[in-house]
Structure 1
Amino acid sequence: MKNVFLNGHLEEEVYMDPPPGFEGKYKSKICRLRRSLYGLKQSPRAWFERFTQFVKRQGYVQGQADHTMFTRHSLEGKTTVLIVYVDDIILTGDDVVEIKNLKERLASEFEIKDLGPLKYFLGMEVARSKKGIIVSQRKYVLDLLKETGMSGCRPTETPIDPNLKFVKEGKLIDKGQYQRLVGKLIYLSHTRPDISFAVSLVIQFMHYPREEHQEAVYRILRYLKSSPGKGLFFKKNEQRSLEAYTDADWAGSSIDRRSTSGYCTFVWGNLVTWRSKKQNVVARSSAEAEYRSMALGICEILWLKRFLEELRRPVSFPMKLYCDNKAAISIAHNPVQHDRTKHVEVTDTSLKRRLKMEVCAFLLFQQQNKLQIFSQKVFSELLLSPLLAS
């Protein structure tokens, strides 16, 4: 869409000085804005409200799991899905007639440009084949390497040194440059789960970056140089299950001894979401650290369940959550509260509640290094080969 922020209607009273060219005649006057303008803080909200109202009038329902998704289900059982990000829209579904009609109605209301089948969206490249769909950010990686002068760098096999321990010492560097570079790596991790943990480490020093933190960022770039075209591969699967894998790096931070939680979720056998996040409190045991990671994982698969229900896609129960810590799984299964684990169980009682409702099943996962790239400095081809497409 073109000039989307000019389409919003302002409900608030906003005033401005006369624009250039009107100062003489209206020097002592002020103007009240009726429409949103670029640069106005309220413009994105006003535009989205205008767009939402229009789409709803076309018979679409706004999603509650994701407010930027709108769905329409026909009486014949066909589905049309619209996803919007500011001024970029994706239309998909099995109702070809409705998609065509919606494009015409959008063109009559707004100034739009139809770019055809999805090939490039917000820096992400989409390629289709009979086997499935590949999503990557190859051009984004190459542009980033060129911008930072790392195009001719020597590649490395891992995004971070497994023995690296960050400290709050050393020479400070340019904060603005560091923040811009890390911000681009954060966006790149949307299709590169293999750098998720490394990025979660360097992001902790955004306000006071030092030379060793910058070196860690450059190592991530060197790792990207070794495989700029890797991405996610999505294939058709008869399996209708939701699965989550969780892990934790207990007391991994040498600065405050807080642990790092990691999880990834598979929808119908395809990797869809993942996260690596430092825990808010210091875990007193590895079981506690793992239990807190399970809490994050259960929240994610419940959100995905709600998302799929809005699309009217079936999910087989119970949903499975895998963890490699026996103690954490025992705490989740044990209906009795003990003094030694009371501080752990209070953090999230929903685990036991979901287990009792047979919504989720907690299982022990014993295969080593399967998902530790989200929580530890371990990088196994066992994970990267099946999940990332070269």
Structure 2
Amino acid sequence: MVCKLQRILYGLKQAPRQWYERFDSFMLHHGFRRTLMDHCVYVKGATIADPISLLLYVDDMLIMGKSMNEIKDLKEKLSAAFEMKDLGQAEHIPSMGIKRDRDHKLLWLSHKKYVLKVLKRFNMDSSKAVSSPLGTHFKMNTKLCPQTKEEHLAMQKIPYALEIGSLMYAMICIRPDIAYVVGLLSRFTTNLRKKQ
């Protein structure tokens, strides 16, 4: 017996793809276009004076535009097509804080919460700040790689690769100044030994 699903159920392997296809067709049908750089960013508006943008992150959306009427209209259309709730003015989006000064038309984006969360996760929240991400005395080479089976087993318990991944995200989004250090450290992701 084979069951053909008439709708996608949450948790199925193909559910995220089906959700995106449905959302994408909705947005294209309402005059939005996907950007070439990121297919989860939709833009509508012929000129810079009246743009409206929607950023999609899994099933969270951030809508930006100059006209509140346009934004309200889009929210109404989305509510009619999808089950959703309006969380109001955005104060944060995944790993990024948002602050506004409407009087002076200023906007600040901050990854401070993300950085603090990463530091706490890897027990580095009480570390001292330094002006340079890598000291000149710091050298890495293959002699630092585990030599014995016991060293290999000991290093498997340390989430080194996870730490490097967290730094890579910060490097790409907000801290390009740590790119050299992250690149150097990532060379030893799978085979690093504790300093003796």
In the superposition, the TM-score normalised over structure 1's length comes to 0.43
Measured after TM superposition, the shift of residue 167 of structure 1 is 0.9
- Corresponding letter in the other structure for 1:86: V
Say which SS state the counterpart of residue 127 (structure 2) adopts.
coil
Mapped to 2, the partners of 1:211 and 1:132 lie a distance apart of: 46
Mapped to 2, the partners of 1:73 and 1:103 lie a distance apart of: 16
Task: Give the match for residue 157 of structure 1.
Answer: 131
> 8 Å contact 1:81–1:93 — kept in the other structure?
yes
Q: Higher mean Cα deviation, 69-78 or 48-57?
A: 69-78
Mapped to 2, the partners of 1:114 and 1:162 lie a distance apart of: 51
Structure 1's 197 and 95: CA in aligned 2 closer, same or farther, altered over 3 A? same
Measured after TM superposition, the shift of residue 107 of structure 1 is 0.9
Measured after TM superposition, the shift of residue 38 of structure 1 is 4.3
Task: Give the match for residue 341 of structure 1.
Answer: none
Task: Give the match for residue 178 of structure 1.
Answer: 160
> Within the alignment, does 1:139 sit opposite 2:121 as a pair?
no
Measured after TM superposition, the shift of residue 204 of structure 1 is 2.5
Mapped to 2, the partners of 1:74 and 1:135 lie a distance apart of: 27
Provide the identity percentage: 35
Measured after TM superposition, the shift of residue 134 of structure 1 is 2.1
> Within the alignment, does 1:191 sit opposite 2:168 as a pair?
no
Measured after TM superposition, the shift of residue 104 of structure 1 is 0.7
Mapped to 2, the partners of 1:203 and 1:40 lie a distance apart of: 34
Choose from 176, 181, 201 the match for 2:184: 201
Mapped to 2, the partners of 1:40 and 1:206 lie a distance apart of: 33
Mapped to 2, the partners of 1:209 and 1:83 lie a distance apart of: 39
Task: Give the match for residue 140 of structure 2.
Answer: 166
Choose from 106, 110, 121 the match for 2:78: 106
Say which SS state the counterpart of residue 157 (structure 1) adopts.
coil
Task: Give the match for residue 329 of structure 1.
Answer: none
Say which SS state the counterpart of residue 161 (structure 1) adopts.
coil
Task: Give the match for residue 384 of structure 1.
Answer: none
- Which runs of no fewer than 5 residues in structure 2 stay unpaired? 147-151
- Which runs of no fewer than 5 residues in structure 1 stay unpaired? 1-28, 213-390
The 5 A counterparts of 1:168-317 are 168-170=142-144, 171=146, 172=152, 173-174=155-156, 177-189=159-171, 190-211=173-194
- Corresponding letter in the other structure for 1:195: I
Say which SS state the counterpart of residue 185 (structure 1) adopts.
helix
- Corresponding letter in the other structure for 1:55: M
Structure 1's 115 and 204: CA in aligned 2 closer, same or farther, altered over 3 A? farther
Mapped to 1, the partners of 2:60 and 2:48 lie a distance apart of: 29
Aligned length: 184
Measured after TM superposition, the shift of residue 54 of structure 1 is 0.6
> 8 Å contact 1:63–1:69 — kept in the other structure?
yes
User: 1:268-327 CA deviation, whole Å, 9 max, x = no partner?
Assistant: xxxxxxxxxxxxxxxxxxxxxxxxxxxxxxxxxxxxxxxxxxxxxxxxxxxxxxxxxxxx
> Within the alignment, does 1:116 sit opposite 2:99 as a pair?
no
In the superposition, the TM-score normalised over structure 2's length comes to 0.80
Mapped to 2, the partners of 1:195 and 1:58 lie a distance apart of: 42
CA RMSD of aligned residues (A): 2.5
Higher relative contact order (CA 8 A, sep 6+): 1
Q: Name which one, 1 or 2, has greater alpha-carbon Rg.
A: 1
Choose from 5, 8, 27 the match for 1:55: 27
Mapped to 1, the partners of 2:80 and 2:137 lie a distance apart of: 59
Mapped to 1, the partners of 2:16 and 2:158 lie a distance apart of: 26
Structure 1's 131 and 109: CA in aligned 2 closer, same or farther, altered over 3 A? closer
Say which SS state the counterpart of residue 205 (structure 1) adopts.
coil
Measured after TM superposition, the shift of residue 58 of structure 1 is 1.1
